[in-house]
Amino acid sequence: MPTFACMEILDPLLQAYLENHCDAEPEALKKINRETYLKQLKPNMLSGHYQGRLLSMLSKLVNPKLVLEIGAFTGYATICLAEGLAEGGKVHTIEVNREQEETLRKNFDLAGFTDRIELHIGDAKDVIFGFSDLIFDICFIDADKKSNLAYFELIIDKIRPGGLIIIDNVLWKGKVYGEAKDADTELFRKLNDSITVHTQVEKLILPVRDGVLLIRKK
């Protein structure tokens, strides 16, 4: 059964069943999960067990040399993505909140991935502009939601053909397919609609937690 309440669009019993029928949560991630809920103001931002196993599986299928993550929080998803790295591969993760740096470095060390994760503290747009010579196999976008479309447009040319872009929270608590008219919901509708008609990519929304958009560059 899931240990903590989090943002889910699935029935809680189905969510529990899914978590009980995927690979176990690694011990280091269990500890990070627990401490996030004990010490962070918005712990439901954590990817959690089931979504974490999805990210890990996708990374293992791609076997990436280079991964970009926009929005690290406490590093849970970062570590999941690092699990699938090819030999000598690296995750570049960007976190705007400098107060998270100590926690992130501690968590990366706990999971044994210190040498495979490079942490960048700062505004994602500025950091990405510095990656002029890097081409990524996977990008996971899970940062400030109003900038999702801008992040996508910024990194699409930095993803190799056949590479993946993964965007979190795209069902926005189910509001995108309801009657809600608030500004945040409209931003997610604009994002999803823009990706749907984008001819350079294949796309699929998975109803995992708050919605995960998988995008494969052609």
What pLDDT digit, counting tens, does each position of 185-198 carry? 999 999 999 999 99
Question: What DSSP string describes 135-147?
Answer: -EEEEEE-S-GGG
Provide the 10 A C-beta neighbour count for residue 160. Answer: 14
- pLDDT band for 8, please (50, 70, 90 cuts): low
Only one residue has tokens 């990706």, namely: 195
Rounded distance between C-alpha atoms, residue 168 and residue 51, angstroms: 10
Structure tokens at 124: 């994602």
**Which of 62, 97, 61, 95 has its CA nearest to residue 78?**
95
Rounded distance between C-alpha atoms, residue 47 and residue 33, angstroms: 9
pTM over 0.85: yes
Rounded distance between C-alpha atoms, residue 211 and residue 172, angstroms: 7
Where are the domains positioned within the chain? 12-217
pLDDT for 204 equals 98
Pick the CATH number of 12-217 from 2.160.10.10, 3.50.30.10, 3.30.70.20, 3.40.50.150: 3.40.50.150
- pLDDT band for 5, please (50, 70, 90 cuts): very low
**Region 193-218 average pLDDT:** 96
What does the CA dihedral 56, 57, 58, 63 come to, rounded to 10 degrees? 80
Long-range CB contacts (within 8 A, 24+) of 88-91: 89/64, 89/65, 89/116, 90/65, 90/66, 90/116, 90/117, 90/118, 91/67, 91/116, 91/117, 91/118
